[in-house]
Structure 1
Amino acid sequence: MSEPLLTLDGVHTHIGHYHILQGVDFSVPRGGLTMLIGRNGAGKTTTMRTIMGLWRASRGAITLDGRDITGLATPDIAQANVAYVPEDMGIFSDLTVRENMILAARDGEPKDDRLRWIFRLFPALEKFWSLEAGALSGGQKQMLAIARAMIEPRKLLLVDEPTKGLAPAIVGALIEAFGELKKTDTTILLVEQNFHFARALGDDVVVMDDGRIVHRGLMADLAADEELQQNLLGLSLEMHQ
């Protein structure tokens, strides 16, 4: 296993009076795609938001590439070359596809070679380049959200449930896109409920339950062990797509 790019060590997060993360410990190997899975309400989104500094850890440490980022503000974490695609996509509906991409580009204008690569992965974005993002379909909006995160080379990409509510054909397109992204130097931590997607792309897997990590291992091993799936998740992943 490669050395970790991201490490969470005993991370606790409180939201109001609620103690959501309760000593979260796991690492994300450099250059791979790690799946973060678990039952609804397990704390997956809170984990992503805590890494990104949107919610502050009340205890513990988060380390990125050897640097403690636990107390950093979200813009500073983004400046460390981390991108986040939230579950609600986070696009600007009143702006065009082009304007959304310009805002995500570091120098205010996407580089031609990077843009061509994204258009190859998501042809609909080129087709609707001048259309307001709010007029896109749900799948196209998700493509735009991911493309915004990919417009610059990233050290770490955090993605929260990219396939939620999408048609199988769109899920297939996202599998292809993330497969291409895995060939780059980007490390990916991805929350996902679609087993087909997780099995196709995941290198490693971390399973959460009730604000704690209950399993770490290879995605292929979990995918092959239905008894382990039942023990950890209360269901077979094959039935949860």
Structure 2
Amino acid sequence: MSEQAILKLEGVHTHIGAYHILHGVDFEVPTGQVTMLLGRNGAGKTTTLRTIMGLWQASRGHVFFDGRAIGGEKGRLTTPDISTLGIAYVPENMGIFSDLSVRENILLAARKARSVDDIDTQRLEWLFGLFPAIRKFWLYPAGKLSGGQKQMLAICRAMIEPRRLLLIDEPSKGLAPAIVQNLIAALRELKATQTTVLLVEQNFSMAKALGDRVAVMDDGRIVHKGEMAELAQDESLQQRLLGLSLGAHQ
């Protein structure tokens, strides 16, 4: 594993029932950077995140976190054990509890806290600064939040305790452009704290704004790895890998 990489996948294959979804996935996530995982629908991006988290087990290959085997042939940790290493996952469906308040959702995610008073006040204020809507709607039922506010709550839940790696699956999906811009601004602030993020995204302007590195998937394989800025500047490569131009999504 590269000295600067906190996560590495080597030759990862994942089967779901009779379906062979991942076919030898290889890439690294450098520490303190935002790595974008891009690709057309059905390319295997969500399966990759779920395999990293142990929600689906790699049938072959290896998943390493900070040099330790957490999935695949050399080690198969459970999802709770993987979480305790400092990895948080924000799924596409956000995973919030609609009938509970924003406050109660945050408290449930803060596993070491029995009450809100036990939560690190400085960390909570930091999250309020990133996502002001969380403070504003603190006592509201989470199910009554807008789509963008729910997404912000999901990220806050993942970050309420210190995390070494954050996996986020399509945070901008279904959001209005103005809300996407707010989300980009918040994630930029998070990026400035050197939080390591692996981000699956279909919104290419968000990918360009946030990504340091990029891995592109197609049919369960990594078909391109490199600097996000290089992909953003190469329209022919965008067209070949993704079928779309980043320039058309400003």
TM-score in same-fold range (> 0.5): yes
1:221 maps to 230
* Cα displacement string for residues 167-208 of structure 1 (whole angstroms, at most 9, x for unaligned residues): 122111211211111122421000001111111110000000
Is 1:117 aligned with 2:126?
A: yes
How far the C-alpha of 1:2 sits from its partner, in A, is: 6.4
Aligned to 2:245: 236
Match of 1:134 in 2: 143
- 172 and 240 in structure 1: CA distance in 2 versus 1, 3 angstrom threshold: closer
Q: Conserved in 2, the CA contact under 8 Å of 1:175 and 1:200?
A: yes
Distance 2:194 2:235 in 1: 32
Deviates most, 41-50 or 145-154: 145-154
- 1:31 is matched with 32
- Cα pair 1:206 1:215 within 8 Å, conserved: yes
Over residues 30-62 of structure 1, what are the superposed CA-to-partner deviations in whole Å (9 max), with x where a residue is unaligned?
110000000000000000000000000000000
**1:144 and 2:145 equivalent?**
no
3-state SS, counterpart of residue 193 of structure 1 = coil
Which residue of structure 2 aligns with residue 101 of structure 1?
Answer: 106
1:237 and 1:2 map into 2 onto residues whose CA distance is 31
Gaps of 5+ in 2: none
Q: Distance in 2 between matches of 1:61 and 1:8?
A: 6
How many Å separate the matches in 1 of 2:4 and 2:176?
A: 36
Is 1:76–2:77 an aligned residue pair? no
The residue matched to 1:131 in structure 2 has which SS? coil
- 2:51 aligned with 1:47, yes or no? no
> 2:81 is aligned with what amino acid?
D
TM-score by length of 1: 0.97
Matched residue type, 1:196: S
3-state DSSP class of the match of 1:129?
coil
C-alpha displacement at 1:240, in angstroms?
4.9
Indicate if the aligned counterparts of 2:215 and 2:222 stay in contact, CA closer than 8 A: yes
Shift of 1:218: 0.3
Unaligned runs of 5+ in 1: none
1:46 partner letter? T
Q: What is the alpha-carbon distance in structure 1 between the residues aligned to residue 201 and residue 169 of structure 2?
A: 7
Is contact 1:8-1:25 (8 Å) kept?
yes
Offset at residue 238 of structure 1 (A): 2.8
SS of the residue corresponding to residue 187 of structure 2 reads: helix
CA distance in 2, matches of 1:2, 1:32: 14
Find the aligned partners of 1:186 and 1:117 in 2 and give their Cα distance.
Answer: 14
Contact 1:2 1:30 in 2 (8 A): no
Residue 105 of structure 1 aligns to which amino acid in structure 2? A
CA distance in 2: counterparts of 1:202 and 1:190, whole angstroms:
8
Structure 2 letter corresponding to 1:77: I
Question: Which moves more between the two structures, 108-117 or 63-72?
Answer: 108-117
Contact 1:51 1:62 in 2 (8 A): yes
- Note if 1:21 corresponds to 2:30: no
Letter of the 1:103 counterpart? L
Q: 1:2 to 1:196 in 2, by over 3 A?
A: farther
CA offsets, 1:6-39, max 9 Å, x none? 0000000000110000000000011100000000
**1:213–1:149 Cα change, 3 Å:** same
Is 2:130–2:190's contact at 8 Å kept on the other side of the alignment?
A: no
